[in-house]
Amino acid sequence: MEWIQQLVNGISLGSIYALIALGYTMVYGIIKLINFAHGDVFMIGSFIGFYAIAKWELGFFPALLLAMAVCAIFGVVIERIAYKRLRNATRIAALITAIGVSLLIEYTTIFFRGAQPAAYPEVIKNKSFDVFGVQISSTSILILTVAIVLMILLQFIVHKTKIGKAMRAVSHDADAARLMGINVDNTISATFAIGSALAGAAGVIFGVYYTKIDPLMGVIPGVKAFIAAVLGGIGIIPGAMVGGMLLGVVESLVSALGFSLWRDAAAFVILILILIFRPSGIFGKNTREKV
């Protein structure tokens, strides 16, 4: 039963990683940029949720929606100011800019509110349900429900709407999409908006689950979500979900075996192994390099 318990914990944690990973994977799929600032959008979302619940006394769902909306705008602003000029720049320049934006967000937040952590308010009564001898807390159920609903919503947007079709077209071939009359800039902005909104939602549920947030909290989940995206095959949406869940479960199992201090190392070992043996990820296809 202990193992199933860990599995449940792992899936809760994994669904947070998966939500962040979706943003990475969408942005990478469309402009081939590792958006390092994505983890910090997650942090901003968490803080918006915190202020909404603790200071303005909104409920959980209004706070979640507010955080998603603010993060969506924030993501678009980052894209327009920092990344738009770099569409044709070298990969290194884009990556360094992303690192710069990430540091800027973190330290501007620290500058305005200090580096001390904040305690997240309790949004729902913490009850535990006993399912076949496994304790499942109500927070875990909430997290999982929110994550699954958002993922279904995302699948719907990507596959059934016009903007989703445009996104798929741009990620396939931006120049051809432009020739077909798709507004590439707007499509990229929409991708950033959707990805950032998901990160914002992940921030709020992270706060609810771990009850402690601070301005540098985005760094490690950000990198882990990236690992999750690579694990599933970067640029592939179902891959990000599976990668996130898998990473969450592996981390929980490593903790359960008594190596909780090595948890972060396990994630990086997975990353390096996958990069070496299957760089296109679990769901990826091998592509030939063009000269």
Partner 1 sequence: MKKSKFFWGYAVLALVIYAVIQVLISTNILDMYYQNMLITMCINIMLAVSLHIVIGITGQFSIGHAGFLAVGAYISAIITTKLMLPFPLAIFLGALAAAVAGLIVGIPTLRLKGDYLAIATLGFAEIIRIVFLNTDYVGGAAGMQVKYLSNWTYAFVGVVLTILVISNFTNSRHGRACISIREDEIAADAMGINTTYYKVVAFAIGSFFAGLAGAIFAHNFYIIQPTTFGFLKSFDILIYVVLGGLGSLSGSVIAAIFLTVISAYLANFPETRMIIYSLVLIVVMLYRPTGLMGTKEFTDLFKFGKKGGTK
Angle value at C-alpha 247, between 243 and 252, nearest 5 degrees: 150
Q: Give the x/- contact pattern for partner 1 in 163-202, rule: CB under 8 A.
A: ----------------------------------------
CA neighbor of 241 nearest in space, from 8, 2, 10, 20:
20
Is 8 or 225 the residue whose CB approaches partner 1 more closely? 225
Contact between 257 and partner 1 per CB under 8 A: no
Tokens 């799929």 correspond to 29
| Half-sphere exposure of residue 156: CA atoms within 13 angstroms, side-chain side | 6
Q: Give the x/- contact pattern for partner 1 in 27-66, rule: CB under 8 A.
A: -------x--------------------------------
Contact between 110 and partner 1 per CB under 8 A: yes
DSSP state of 56: S
Consecutive H or E run containing 129: strand 128-131
Task: Please give the backbone phi and psi of residue 129, each rounded to the nearest 5 degrees, phi first.
Answer: -100, 140
Contact between 73 and partner 1 per CB under 8 A: no
Dihedral sign, CA of 136, 137, 140, 145? positive
Beta strands 212-213 and 128-131 are unpaired
Is 97 or 140 the residue whose CB approaches partner 1 more closely? 97
Beta strands 128-131 and 134-137 are antiparallel
Which residue from 7, 219, 253, 282 is in contact with partner 1, where contact means CB under 8 A?
219
Which residue from 124, 131, 148, 272 is in contact with partner 1, where contact means CB under 8 A?
272
Distance in Å, CB of 211 to partner 1, minimum: 23
Contact set with partner 1 (CB under 8 A)? 34, 82, 85-86, 89-97, 99-104, 106-108, 110-111, 115, 219, 223, 226-227, 230, 261-262, 264-265, 268-269, 271-272, 275-276, 279, 289, 291
